[in-house]
């Protein structure tokens, strides 16, 4: 791994991925959007390069990637969520979910692809969710975006495999981040109790799966669940 680009790298799973890949000696860059102080701290801790970029903005992504070294490993981690009934989400919020969670993957893949095609090598790791596999009540829009990421992963693996580019996907379960803590401690305890391994996951659990996929040279088009057995 020469240069790794991680989107949504200032907090949670993304920050854990920045730390994990940096620890391997790779040159790491990461995108962030809102949490500037957290991004500074991650960059200072790891030596990674922090770049402010909205992955939903295709032109901004192209400019940001053009200013970086060629990307060998792309981790499409940036994502947002919405909790509530489908009737309670506005059309604008619905569109924003797709713009970030699906459009962000599209923009970042297209930005790094020319260099990967030139080298006839590369690794793309997308982040979906177990809800992208089975769906979740009160998270219909979010589940739909993550299902789209799974379909995109499988299609791109077939499209890009002949060019030496691997595309895989991690599907986290309940991971203890700011995104999941909004459901409350009682719900998190209940979810941990329904998980065969008896706990919720950590960002490091997901980062470890990403490290595996980055080095698994004969693995492509696969979904790697990181959910403690919650969804089998």
Rounded to two decimals, the pTM is 0.95
From residue 203, alpha-carbon distances to 157, 176, 184, 206 in Å are 25, 7, 18, 5
Pairing of strands 73-76, 49-52: unpaired
* Ordered structural domains, the chain, with CATH: 3-226 (3.40.50.720)
- Give 164-181 pLDDT, tens digit per residue: 999 999 999 999 988 787
pLDDT, residue 187, reads 86
pLDDT, residue 171, reads 97
The active-site residue, picked from 32, 83, 106, 142, is 142
% of the chain at pLDDT higher than 70: 99
Least confident of 187-191, 194-198, 225-229: 187-191
**What is residue 23's three-state secondary structure?**
helix
- Cα gap 120→108, rounded to integer Å: 18
Mention every residue, 6+ apart, whose C-beta is less than 8 A from residue 45.
19
Is 212 among the catalytic positions? no
Which whole number is the average pLDDT over 107-132? 97
Q: Which residue has the higher pLDDT, 166 or 190?
A: 166
Q: Write the DSSP string, 82-111.
A: --S-GGGS-HHHHHHHHHHHTHHHHHHHHH
pLDDT, residue 185, reads 83
- Give 28-66 pLDDT, tens digit per residue: 999 999 999 999 999 999 999 999 999 999 999 999 999
Q: Using the predicted structure, report yes or no on whether residue 232 has a pLDDT greater than 70.
A: no
Q: What is the mean pLDDT of the chain?
A: 95
Mention every residue, 6+ apart, whose C-beta is less than 8 A from residue 186.
none
Q: Using the predicted structure, report yes or no on whether residue 184 has a pLDDT greater than 90.
A: no
Please list the residues that pair with 169 across neighbouring strands. Answer: 126, 223
pLDDT, residue 219, reads 98
């Amino acid at each position: 791994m020469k240069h790794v680009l991680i989107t949504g790298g200032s907090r949670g799973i993304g920050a854990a991925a920045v730390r994990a890949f940096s620890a391997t000696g790779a040159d790491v860059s990461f995108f962030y959007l809102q949490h500037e102080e957290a991004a500074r701290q991650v960059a200072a801790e790891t030596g990674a390069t922090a770049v402010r970029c909205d992955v939903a903005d295709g032109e901004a992504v192209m400019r940001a990637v053009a200013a970086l070294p060629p990307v060998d490993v792309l981790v499409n981690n940036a994502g947002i969520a919405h909790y509530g009934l489908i009737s309670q989400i506005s059309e604008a919020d619905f569109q924003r979910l797709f713009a970030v969670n699906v459009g962000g993957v599209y923009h970042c893949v297209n930005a790094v692809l020319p260099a990967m095609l030139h080298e006839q090598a590369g690794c793309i790791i997308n982040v979906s969710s177990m809800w992208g596999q089975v769906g979740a009540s009160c998270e219909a829009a979010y589940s739909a975006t993550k299902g789209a990421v799974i379909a995109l992963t499988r299609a791109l693996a077939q499209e890009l495999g002949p060019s030496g580019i691997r595309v895989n996907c991690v599907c986290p379960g309940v991971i203890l981040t700011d995104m999941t803590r909004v459901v409350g401690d009682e719900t998190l305890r209940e979810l941990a109790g329904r998980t065969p391994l008896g706990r919720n996951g950590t960002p490091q659990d997901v980062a470890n799966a990403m490290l595996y996929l980055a080095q698994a040279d004969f693995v492509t088009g696969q979904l790697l669940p990181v959910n403690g057995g919650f969804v089998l």
